[in-house]
Amino acid sequence: MTTLPLATSAPSILRRGFSLVEVLAAVSIIGIITFLAIPNIVAIKADSERNLAISRAEALNMATVSYVQANGRGNVATSWAALSNQNRYAALVPYLSFAPANLTAYTPAGYSISLPSNLNQLTKSGLTDTAASATVSY
């Protein structure tokens, strides 16, 4: 003979999920954290773009010096001034690591780089923030 369990007067409540209030509280907390974090993420992205632009301009400066040392200042200084910015960059590509063939592809978005026009006086490449129309000193 089998015995049946005794029925209790209060049915047992089984919770199988979260209530609507708990879900809304969790979503609102995540929203507040996101609201506070997004401005910092945007600022970090802008800073990293600026740092990338500065490092690319410095790499072009080092490539220019290497180009002059390898080919001789007298040999390259006369023809350099007549070249366009893209043609100057094309002459420097062999002295850069992992550089694309186009200067605009090498330059980070929001910035422009101009190579020095005179190799007799070695000057730095010009770096301009196109959004602010301001020269970046580095």
Which whole number is the average pLDDT over 50-61?
A: 96
Q: What's the pLDDT score for residue 78?
A: 87
Question: What is the Cα 60 distance to its own chain's centre?
Answer: 18
Q: What's the pLDDT score for residue 2?
A: 64
d(CA 13, CA 132): 63
Q: What's the pLDDT score for residue 8?
A: 58
Mean of per-residue pLDDT scores for the chain:
90
How many CA atoms lie within 13 Å of 126's alpha carbon, on the beta-carbon side?
Answer: 12
**Does the pLDDT of residue 61 top 80, yes or no?**
yes
Q: Output phi, psi for 47, to 5 deg.
A: -65, -40
- pLDDT tens-digit readout, 94-127: 999 989 999 999 999 999 999 999 998 889 999 9
SS3 58: helix
Tell me which residue of 68, 60, 110, 59 sits closest to 89, measured CA to CA. Answer: 60
